[in-house]
């Protein structure tokens, strides 16, 4: 049981923080054969591709960057902390001989900085194939929205939603040319209403909707909103969220690689959880998902 300030009391069991299909053998908590990244590493699937990852200075974004680099991609890494970005770049260069890595010290809220980072990436590498909009924040939970600093509440949307929009906005013309991919790192928090998490939940739900709009407005570009699993990163540990951590960052990284490699384009414009076995989702649920246009936000009538 966790007691929050403002006399809100919540039991862990009052949240169902995983999303599940009716009959299945998932959630999965580690990399499984259907999304095994090793074939991408050995075949260098992304050798001619350019991938931009935001929030790449640590946590899930750093792992995503590592995975794409091992699959041969040229990388543009974005975050605010120059030292940590440099450390991620150095680690990639140490483990992937010949790695091509640019870093950009950028605040995702700053439209001019974002515009320049995307333009400089394309100027340097000549193209852009994949945008992984991963940068995100979560305030420490425990304060209801009427008590929280309103600027802090709104800032979550500035980073989690505006930051994603900024990158998608400037990346789209290049992704249209390459027939590329947007992968926005969303959250299971977009699908549940956890007290004191309204800013995070709203920001991530709006990101899911933005992802739905990508193929509607730009049919040549594929887009996915991905829940990475509950990973013990700085953000997650600092939030005090009442979740049990179920996986490391590698599962999300392998999921993102699988999606950006064109292995699940039928899920274009939809929400995907890294905790689902995508092979099982495809074999058991693809027809129903497409028929009912599921995994998008909609109002259900009884
Ligand atoms: P993390 O370790 O705290 O990493 C967050 C990253 O975002 C850092 O690289 C940080 O870099 C960057 N960032 C934050 N604000 C930024 C800004 N204004 N401009 C540029 N970069 C910024 O957290 P994480 O868990 O890996 O989170 C990655 C994504 O996964 C987030 O979108 C989060 O919502 C999502 N997610 C995580 C979990 C989980 O359990 N960990 C669950 C669901 C969803 P700088 O500080 O250097 O700028």
Contacts of residue 59, Cβ cutoff 8 Å, sequence gap at least 6: 231, 233, 234, 235, 249
Q: At what angle do helices 59-70 and 82-95 cross, to 10 degrees?
A: 30
Please work out whether the CB of residue 162 comes within 6 Å of at least one atom of ligand 1: no
The average pLDDT across 50-73 equals 98
Phi, psi of 241 (to 5 degrees): -65, 140
What are the percentages of helix, strand and coil residues in the chain, rounded to 5? 45, 15, 40
**Per-position b or e across 116-141, b if 16+ CB within 10 A of its CB:** ebbeebbeebeebbbbbbbbbbbbeb
Contacts of residue 269, Cβ cutoff 8 Å, sequence gap at least 6: 211, 212, 214, 215, 216, 222, 223, 224, 296
pLDDT band at 24; cut points 50, 70, 90: low
The residue whose CA has the least distance to atom 6 of ligand 1 is: 55
pLDDT per position as a tens digit, 250-279: 999 999 999 999 999 999 999 999 999 999
pLDDT band at 247; cut points 50, 70, 90: confident
pLDDT per position as a tens digit, 76-121: 999 999 999 999 999 999 999 999 999 999 999 999 999 999 999 9
% of the chain with per-residue pLDDT over 70:
92
The residue whose CA has the least distance to atom 33 of ligand 1 is: 136
**Per-position b or e across 255-285, b if 16+ CB within 10 A of its CB:** bbbbbbbebbeebbbbbbbbbbbbbbbbebb
Please work out whether the CB of residue 272 comes within 6 Å of at least one atom of ligand 1: no
What's the gap in Å between 59 CA and the centre of ligand 1?
A: 7
Does 27 have pLDDT greater than 80?
no
Does 224 have pLDDT greater than 90?
yes
- Quote the radius of gyration of the chain (alpha carbons, Å): 18
Please work out whether the CB of residue 57 comes within 6 Å of at least one atom of ligand 1: yes
Does 72 have pLDDT greater than 90?
yes
Does 16 have pLDDT greater than 80?
no
Q: At what angle do helices 111-125 and 163-178 cross, to 10 degrees?
A: 30
175 three-state secondary structure: helix
Distance of alpha carbon 149 from alpha carbon 146, whole angstroms: 8
Distance of alpha carbon 279 from alpha carbon 208, whole angstroms: 22
What's the pLDDT score for residue 22? 63
Active-site positions? Answer: 200, 204
Distance of alpha carbon 59 from alpha carbon 65, whole angstroms: 10
298: left (phi over 0), alpha (psi -120 to 50) or beta: beta
**Per-position b or e across 55-85, b if 16+ CB within 10 A of its CB:** bbbbbbbbbbbbbbbbbbbbbbbbbbeeeeb
60 three-state secondary structure: helix
Is the model's pTM score more than 0.85? yes
pLDDT per position as a tens digit, 164-213: 999 999 999 999 999 999 999 999 999 999 999 999 999 999 999 999 99
Distance of alpha carbon 72 from alpha carbon 60, whole angstroms: 19
pLDDT band at 244; cut points 50, 70, 90: confident
Take residue 171 and report the two structure tokens written for it.
């990346």
Residue 97 CB neighbours (<10 A): 6
What's the pLDDT score for residue 245? 85
Distance of alpha carbon 184 from alpha carbon 164, whole angstroms: 7
Distance of alpha carbon 191 from alpha carbon 234, whole angstroms: 22
pLDDT per position as a tens digit, 117-146: 999 999 999 999 999 999 999 999 999 999
Residue 112 CB neighbours (<10 A): 9
Please work out whether the CB of residue 241 comes within 6 Å of at least one atom of ligand 1: no
Please work out whether the CB of residue 135 comes within 6 Å of at least one atom of ligand 1: yes
Average pLDDT across the chain, whole number: 92
What's the gap in Å between 226 CA and the centre of ligand 1?
A: 13
């Amino acid at each position: 049981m966790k007691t929050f300030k403002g006399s809100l009391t919540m039991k862990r069991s009052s949240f169902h923080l995983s999303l599940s299909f009716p009959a299945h053998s998932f959630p999965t908590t580690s990399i499984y054969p259907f999304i095994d990244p090793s074939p991408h590493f050995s075949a260098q699937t992304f050798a001619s591709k350019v991938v931009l990852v935001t929030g790449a200075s640590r946590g899930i974004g750093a792992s995503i960057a590592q995975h794409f680099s091992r699959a041969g991609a040229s990388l543009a890494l974005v975050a605010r902390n120059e030292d940590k970005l440099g450390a991620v770049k150095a680690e990639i260069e140490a483990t992937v001989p010949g790695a091509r890595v640019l870093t950009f010290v950028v605040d995702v809220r700053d439209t001019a900085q974002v515009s320049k980072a995307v333009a400089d990436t394309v100027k340097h590498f000549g193209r852009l194939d994949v945008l992984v909009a991963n940068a995100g924040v979560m305030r420490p939970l425990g304060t209801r929205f009427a008590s929280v600093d309103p600027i802090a509440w709104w800032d979550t949307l500035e980073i989690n939603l505006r930051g994603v929009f900024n990158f998608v906005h400037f990346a789209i013309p290049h992704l249209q040319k390459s027939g590329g991919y947007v992968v926005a790192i969303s959250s299971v928090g977009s699908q549940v209403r956890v007290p004191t998490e309204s800013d995070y939940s709203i920001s991530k739900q709006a990101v899911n909707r933005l992802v739905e709009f990508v193929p509607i407005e730009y049919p040549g570009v594929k887009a996915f909103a991905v829940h990475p699993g509950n990973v013990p990163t700085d953000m997650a540990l600092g939030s005090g969220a009442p979740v049990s951590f179920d996986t490391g960052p590698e599962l999300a990284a392998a999921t993102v690689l699988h999606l950006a490699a064109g292995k699940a384009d039928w899920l274009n414009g939809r929400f995907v959880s890294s905790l689902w076995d995508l092979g099982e989702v495809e074999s058991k649920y693809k027809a129903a998902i497409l028929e009912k246009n599921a995994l998008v936000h909609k109002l259900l009538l009884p």
